[in-house]
Amino acid sequence: MNIPPSTGAALEVRGLVKTFAPGLPPALDHLTTSFHAGTITGLVGPDGAGKTTLLRTLAGLLQPTEGSVRVLDMDPFTQGDFLRDQVGYMPQKFGLYEDLSVLENLVLYADLRNVTGEDRERSFKQMLAFTDLARFTDRLAGKLSGGMKQKLGLACTLLGSPRVLLLDEPGVGVDPISRRELWRMVRGLASEGLTILWSTAYLDEAELCDDVRLMNKGNIIASGTPKELMDQMRGRCLHVANLKAQRREVLRKALHDPEVVDGVIQGANVRVVIREVGRFPDLAAMEAGPDAVLVEVDPRLEDAFISRLGGVHGGDSALAAVTKPVELPASIDPEAVIEARGLTKRFGEFTATDHVSFKVSKGEIFGLLGPNGAGKSTTFKMKCGLLKPTEGQALVMGLDLKFSPSEARQRLGYMAQKFSLYLGLTVEQNLVFFSGIYGLDGQQQKEKIHELVEAFGLRPFLQTKTVDLALGFKQRLALACAVMHEPQILFLDEPTSGVDPVTRREFWTHINGLAQKGVTIMVTTHFMDEAEYCDRIALIYRGKRIAMGTPDDLKGMVVTPDCSNPTMEDAFIELVLRADREREAKVSQ
């Protein structure tokens, strides 16, 4: 195949405007940019910035309202037939055929992309190895876990050696191990001269790209290499270390400091970004304790992203402000608000969850982490009563979900992995419905809805159909619906999957606030920076609990002379690999 010279723009967009309906603001607003062959360009930006629209336009699936689009020097809309062989596009929701097996899906896309003979053999081998799906070639795609589906979808897109790859959030729902492999693979493709556009909500992913475009409101507001963007932030990123006080409280107060534009929890420390180099925040006002110190740390791309978008202000959760502190009945052990006792689930021969036990205490944020298909979701579903355990007990406030489900459920709130409110209803109808089925009515219901609408800024959208909401607002609405009845326990299943960092900050402000009010929270996530927010984490792999402890405990477990300061991601990967080695050692004995 002819590989074009690695100079010159492979993708070029000039004055691109895309309007979906008259009256609505354009999804793309006079956008001009170009992308070069042999590079990976990260496309980042908040929800509704126009990333997906740009990718769809480049893929020839949308007709530009104005402006010109050139892909490999052709117009993707009118000359699509010539281009589709050259362009691989992976939509956000890659539709696999659920009633076809893994291999059949691959064969289908190989045929569609005219990958035959030895080429096919070779790419299948490569794809199956990379996706770790070789064990599951005969399994129906519908029976794969969410992350495995995503990997298979990507594999189908990569077939047929395209010259341009358009990837719309390929990493959503994929665990860190697979993401690393995915990255390695895409990097390899780039070095062969492919032009790769990678839209992502994970800024750590974008950090690895050659080039980054930060989009907002249909246009590009910053571009450059990650290093350039990060260097602008040097000196502005600090750790507040040696905390005596509760780190959540410190974060909340830090975000009130006028010098601070962003802040997150990182292990035992609080990480802040300041407005200007040299103007430090007031440690005393944070009440961080006498030993607290500020330590400068390396900037991350996320810092640039957040500060470009104006930063995060105020660490107070309007939701927590309207939530009453949780009072548990005396009969309930505050150390075991949620408890799993030897929780086991078998599907036929297959054990999805294998004797998992843990206790979560009141006001704790407990994270459930694990690679795709490790049994994390199964465990989670048993905990909130969606699946009945084969063995063991799932207790919620001392009640067994098997025997008093209705009573127990009244006390828990649930937010699903996939957005699952009624898309056909308006925002208000959803709020009324979900408060109604939890028994709120009359004045009480009206007040609660009013409070939440104000807290989440949903007022302008009350009459909007939920399907038409931007993802960020959908997320807020989903959280609002989950906490309407002031649950004492909150179950969050990958709640921020695909959500941009700004919305994620806001989301965690609420979760932190709720935890401070004594709400017990159980969460699953693939974002390692989110794992840092957890008080304790259980790492699940192949159905078993392989590690449990605070984020710093887990990081501590993998400290080696080579790696003295491991990240959460390092810890995750190392612990999983360690479990693999132990298992293999056992097998070989």
Partner 1 sequence: MNLSPSLRRLLALCRKESYQIVRDPSSILVAFILPVVFLFVMGYAINLDADHVRIGVLREDAGPAAVRFEQVLSASKAFEVHSGPSREALVKQMARGNLRGVVVIPNDFSIRMAQGQGKASLQVLADGSEPNTAAFVGNYVQGAWESWQQSLARDQGRTQPPGLEVRTRSWFNPSAISRNFLVPGSISVVMTIIGALLTSLVVAREWERGTMEALLATPVTRTELLVSKIIPYYGLGMIAMVICMLVAVFVMGMPFRGSLFVLFGVSTLFLGSTLGLGLFLSTVMRSQFNAALAALTAGFLPALMLSGFVFEISSMPMPIRVITRFISARYLSSSLQTLFQVGNLGSVQGYASIWLIALTVFWIGLTALKTRRTLD
Partner 2 sequence: MLKRLFRLIVKELQVTAGDKKARLMLLVPVLLQIVIFPWAATLEVKNSTIAVYNQDGGPASIEILQRLTHTPAFERIIAVHSDGALQDSIDSQQALLALRLPADLSRNLQAGRPATVQILIDGRHSNSGQIASGYVSQILQATRSEHGVRPTSIVNIRNLFNQNLNFKWHIVPSLVAIITTIGCLTVTALSVAREREEGTFDQLLVSPLTPGYIMAGKAIPGVLVALGQAGLIVLAAIFGYGLPFTGSILTLLMAIIFYGLALAGIGLFISSISANQQQAFLGVFSFMAPAVLLSGFVSPIENMPTVFQWIAWMNPLSYFIPLAKGLFLKGFGFADAWPFLWPMLVIATCTLSISLSLFRRHIA
Residues that bind partner 2 (CB under 8 A): 384-386, 388, 405-407, 409-410, 412, 414, 416, 418-425, 429, 432-434, 436-439, 441, 465, 491
CA-based nearest residue to 497, from 173, 66, 24, 115: 173
How many positions of this chain bind partner 1 (CB under 8 A)?
A: 36
Start-to-end C-alpha separation, the chain: 49
In contact, 206 and 300? CB cutoff 8 Å: no
Minimum gap (Å) between residue 434 Cβ and partner 2 = 8
* Binding partner of residue 423 among partner 2, partner 1, none, CB cut-off 5 to 8 Å per kind: partner 2
387 binds partner 1 (CB under 8 A): no
One DSSP character per residue, 96-146 reads --TTSBHHHHHHHHHHHTT--HHHHHHHHHHHHHHHT-GGGTTSBGGGS-H
Residue closer to partner 1 by CB (options 71, 492) is 71
Q: Which residue type does 96 have?
A: L
* Rounded Cα distance, 165 and 199, in Å: 11
CA dihedral 566, 568, 569, 572 (to 10 degrees): 100
412 binds, among partner 2, partner 1, none (CB under 5 to 8 A by kind): partner 2
- SS3 of residue 553 by DSSP: helix
Taking CB under 8 A as the criterion, the residue among 11, 27, 56, 541 binding partner 1 is 56
Can you read off the two tokens belonging to residue 195?
Answer: 């032009």
Q: How far is the CB of 420 from partner 1 (least distance, A)?
A: 15
Task: Report how far residue 500's alpha carbon sits from residue 308's, in angstroms, rounded to the nearest whole number.
Answer: 14
60/267 with CB nearer partner 1: 60
Smallest separation, CB 143 to partner 2 (Å) = 12
Q: 579 and 567 in contact (C-beta within 8 Å)?
A: no
Task: For partner 1, give the closer residue by CB, 60 or 392.
Answer: 60
Cβ nearer to partner 1, comparing 90 with 265: 90
Give, as ranges, the residues between 78 and 107 that touch partner 1 (CB under 8 A): 80-81, 84-85, 87-91, 93-100, 104, 107
- Judged by phi (left if over 0) then psi (alpha if -120 to 50, else beta), residue 200 lies in beta
Residues in the chain: 589
CB 581 to partner 2: min, Å: 36
Q: How far apart are CA 392 and CA 429, in angstroms?
A: 39
Q: Which does 436 bind (CB under 5 to 8 A by kind): partner 1, partner 2, none?
A: partner 2
Residues within window 134-173 making contact with partner 1, judged by CB under 8 A: 153, 156-157
How far apart are CB 481 and partner 2 at their closest, in Å? 8
Residue 183 interacts with which of partner 2, partner 1, none, CB < 5 to 8 Å by class:
none
Q: Which residues bind partner 1 (CB under 8 A)?
A: 56, 59-63, 77, 80-81, 84-85, 87-91, 93-100, 104, 107-109, 111-114, 116, 153, 156-157
